[in-house]
Amino acid sequence: MLTAIGPRLRSLRRDRDMTLEALAAVTGISVSTLSRLESGKRRPTLELLVPLARAHRVALDQIVAAPASGDPRVHLAPLRSRNGNVIVPLTQYPGRLQVFKEVIAPRRPKLVTHDGYEWLYVLAGELRLLLGDSEATLHPGEAAEFDTHEPHWFGPADDRPVEILHLFGPQGERMRVRRRPSVTAVVDQSDA
């Protein structure tokens, strides 16, 4: 399955008449990393595939298509809470990075802190994120990451549920998203 990801990525890029340089500019992933992904010399990770799926405007499962092997159904066991939340664990790695798909019902904000690091990606609806003294509303396709020692809360931005991918890592484990360096403003020293 992993060996098919590189050629699939190359095909998506070529179908869109994009160069590696243009794709690097859109995703913030280096040209060499993109080249190694496409040639199969770099192991694909979620932190690399999510921005590529977004840049190509395809679902992640189009890039990571599992080979047909009889019954294609995956039987995930959703966990339902009394307050209307639904959590579907997508990984089962205790002590390592955990991935969940969540549908969060409207609820009152309550800031919490704990060990770890979180990454949130909005699939549907609007997500309200309180982080320390700041607040943000995330829309589908937007993501946030933060250290969970910072007081935080997230939930629907309005009276409708929000659907997210939620990654939680043990203390110190962070996503490694590459970005283009920002352009710094040039200060006119003559006015100083």
d(CA 93, CA 101): 15
Residue 30, pLDDT above cutoff 60: yes
Q: Give me the pLDDT at residue 39, please.
A: 92
Across the range 170-177, mean pLDDT stands at 53
Domains of the chain plus CATH, in order, are 2-63 (1.10.260.40), 79-169 (2.60.120.10)
| Strand bridging mode 143-147 / 86-89 | unpaired
Q: Give me the pLDDT at residue 122, please.
A: 96
Q: Give me the pLDDT at residue 46, please.
A: 86
121 pLDDT tier (thresholds 50, 70, 90): very high
Residue 70, pLDDT above cutoff 80: no
- The tens digit of pLDDT for each residue in 143-169 reads 999 989 999 999 999 999 999 999 888
Residue 126, pLDDT above cutoff 70: yes
d(CA 192, CA 186): 13
129 pLDDT tier (thresholds 50, 70, 90): very high
| Strand bridging mode 152-156 / 127-131 | antiparallel
